[in-house]
Amino acid sequence: MATEHVRLGTLVTPVTFRQPGVLAVQVANVDAMSGGRAELGLGAGWNAPEHEAYGIPFPAKRFGLLEEQLAIMTGLWRTPADETFSFEGEHYRLDRAPGAQRPVGTGIPLIVGGGGPKRTPALAAQYASEFNTGFVTDEVFAERFARVRDAADAAGRDPESLPLSAAVTATIGATAADADARAHRLRLDVATQRTHGLHGTPADVAERLARLRDLGASRVYLQLLDVADLDQLDLLLEAVRLAA
């Protein structure tokens, strides 16, 4: 509500955190408060220790939850305000849920994320406004992007209508030594950062951004593990300008 242009969303909330009906209403309300700038990233979840720490159940099989949550939320958002939405699935049941909480525009962008070889690409092809995957090498990005394009084609969807995006951890410095020091301070392995993240000088980072773009990524999400480290923002801006 305090901004005018920044888009708001999650990348990526696991299906285990919230019931789909509640989540659909919450996101629609954020969309209304922001004037139509909400996005939702949804995935099956992976961080078992986090679930254990907060007492959240973490079932071994979660893709069925993801598939039903996507169906429920898109169904609720498409339901006219004077109608209701019902759903009967293996994991969830909705009985005449009111369609009052609707997105401001034509719909809320849904980002489906993950690295699964079959079900994740299929769900992205069916429901997603964007497919996201992250924290891997260029070769793995290429493989995952190719699988999603193939899944879209198999579903009768134009692959070009499904944007692809990459998530990477950024450790940038004015010099290579500065970048290594930033990674060490965050307890990140420098060698892994060079292959899986955005690491090095602005020129180094720009080179990888360009490679990700060439692989098909239309957006790159930067994970900044030290949000108080504002000096890196100017360096990242320089890298983006170099890659443009």
Residue 63's alpha-carbon distances to 16, 43, 87, in angstroms, are 11, 9, 17
How is residue 199 written in tokens? 């690491």
Half-sphere CA count of 188, side-chain side, radius 13 A:
27
Flag whether the pTM goes above 0.85: yes
- pLDDT score recorded for residue 117: 92
CA dihedral 200, 201, 202, 205 (to 10 degrees): -20
- The one-digit pLDDT tens for each residue of the chain (244 residues) are 788 999 998 888 999 999 999 999 999 999 999 999 999 999 999 999 999 999 999 999 999 999 999 999 999 999 998 999 999 999 999 999 998 788 888 789 999 988 989 999 999 999 999 999 999 999 999 999 999 999 999 999 999 999 999 999 999 999 999 999 999 999 999 999 999 999 999 999 999 999 999 999 999 999 999 999 999 999 999 999 999 9
- 42: Cβ contacts below 8 Å, ≥ 6 apart: 10, 12, 13, 14, 15, 66, 69, 70, 73, 110, 111, 112, 113
Per CATH, which fold does 111-244 belong to? TIM Barrel (3.20.20)
Q: Could you tell me which residues are beta bridge partners of residue 200? A: 172
- What are the residue ranges of CATH 3.20.20.30 in the chain? 111-244
- Tell me, what DSSP letter sits at residue 38? B
